[in-house]
Chain A
């Protein structure tokens, strides 16, 4: 078993699974950073941009939909991850486990 474990961990299939997961985790975390810290830095460096009104007839500022947008974007990122994990990661895990246990 231990020998099988070692060869499985060294197999290109397992390594590519680990690499794929790392890639998507880091990519999505980066997108989260861009959306949230982008918003924070925008507030820090360019308040007038967020303070501009959506149009002449309204009091609503651009900042309001942007704050809601950051929350929605964060949630959408989790949706993307779950879709990826359900469609690609889980079947691959199932396959590798079956291989290890010889089923």
Chain B
């Protein structure tokens, strides 16, 4: 027998949206700890190897946690919990898609990436190709990916902080920008890594406690929880609904999620922080475990919110359902637990934005400044200065764009970032590692084709054409919601054809060295 739930729509009192004492205390504790770590890390961040790659001193277990911290965004924590609460089983289908890229990352590129790279994924793409054109193209793909991802994160974080703490949107943006800049500017990758580790541990503990508290209300039997959901909202809540209507649409989105991960610059950069290929491999094992666990737990939190809080109350606070998890936290553990979960969500935002900023700055300073402008002849000091200037500039741009896009529908930008990552960055990366005949022209054309097709097709797809530009339904020129299946295939084809049509003798000659390094790690940094 499922217990009688205390759901009473409208009667639930919430302190959500007002800065309560516990929320402020938890928030200050997190900021104090992370800034103390930044101070400690700053003393160990003097060289470029330390700034970009934490001196390659991060262990596999630490990197596994940091990867999870870099990947599990506020959108997946609050968004998926809300989606399960409001839409039921569809939210669960959606959650599964976010995990399946991780094994592919391990099987295809984690180890070669670690063996070949120095600081950025462009190091790997350009390993045996002509530096200037390939670095510029890779930087375009990488920075576009990071930029769209950052806009989505910043806009989301401004609204979330406003909802949870009642701080005005603009102040929230500036606050996130300043704290995050402190981590990256002074503590580089080492501080960013620890912020991500702390965030991952707090998030995993937070959702675990929530899961136990939810299950405690249902005799520790998930079946009772599902029964309660079914009683209140009908059996449809536990069945696949409208999320997947067209299988080809679902496959295209699946490809973007799976292979987009293999082209996310901030994720790829984390592999240069571990000592060797074995550590790279094992860090993915840990990351997949943590992230998989998280996506198994989150639906229980979402269903718990639906059963114990009620959909109506959740929608009243936020139409998108983003406050399902915080509301549930307050219901289960009162204001202190809400304060804790709100602080966790805040730390989540900081950790992800810090990782993105570091990746963008590395691309500007290491790829563009050092290898294109300085032709590889920059001193250590010059590169460090460039990286800090790039960090500062990107931080300001991120805050500016966050404020500029206030209130806009930016949900599509995460899908766009994954589409560019899988269409521009991933094909060039994998062809450069594994295909001897890949040429400089092939790489440049593959990246540009993928990037521009991904952006162009998503604009004329229902995702932007109808949902953002408000054109009538059916007037879109491209039917798929995510273009990955077309743009990624096109990028591979163009890379293949252009490489066959052009000659790059240096690239072919250097392939032996590359192979030795890819498979045996000989000469790896």
Spell out A's residues near B (CB within 8 Å). 5-6, 8-9, 14, 17-18, 21, 24-25, 28-29, 32, 36-37, 39-41, 43-45, 47, 50-51, 58-61, 63-64, 67-68, 70-72, 74-75, 77-79, 81-82, 85-86, 90, 93, 96-97, 100
Contacts and interface: CB of A to CB of B under 8 A. Distances in A.
Contact of A43 (B93, B285, B295): B93
Interface stretch (B4-12, B233-241, B374-382, B463-471): B233-241
Contacts of A75: 103, 288-289, 292
Nearest to A61: B238
Contact of A32 (B92, B104, B284): B104
Interface in B397-432: none
B303 to A, nearest CB: 9
Given A51-B239, A67-B92, A75-B288, A32 B103 contact: yes
B226 A58 contact: yes
B102 A74 contact: yes
A81 B247 contact: no
Interface string B244-266: 11110011001000100000000
B235 A44 contact: no
Given A9-B515, A78-B288, 12 more contacts: A6-B512, A29-B108, A32-B107, A36-B96, A39-B96, A41-B247, A51-B239, A60-B227, A63-B92, A67-B92, A70-B100, A74-B100
B106 A59 contact: no
B278 interface: yes
A50 B102 CA distance: 25
Contacts, number: 150
Contacts of A25: 107-108
A14 B226 CA distance: 54
Contacts of A82: 106, 281-282, 285
B166 interface: no
A85 B281 contact: yes
Contacts of B229: 59
B222 interface: yes
Given A25-B107, A47-B239, A18 B96 contact: no
Interface of B: 89, 92-93, 95-97, 99-100, 102-104, 106-108, 111, 222-223, 226-227, 229-231, 235, 238-240, 243-247, 250-251, 254, 258, 278, 281-282, 284-285, 288-289, 292, 295-296, 299, 512-513, 515-516, 519-522
Contacts of B250: 40-41, 43-44
A72 B299 CA distance: 15
Nearest to A39: B96
Nearest to B105: A78
Given A43-B250, A44-B247, A77-B103, A63 B89 contact: yes
B292 A72 contact: yes
B278 to A, nearest CB: 6
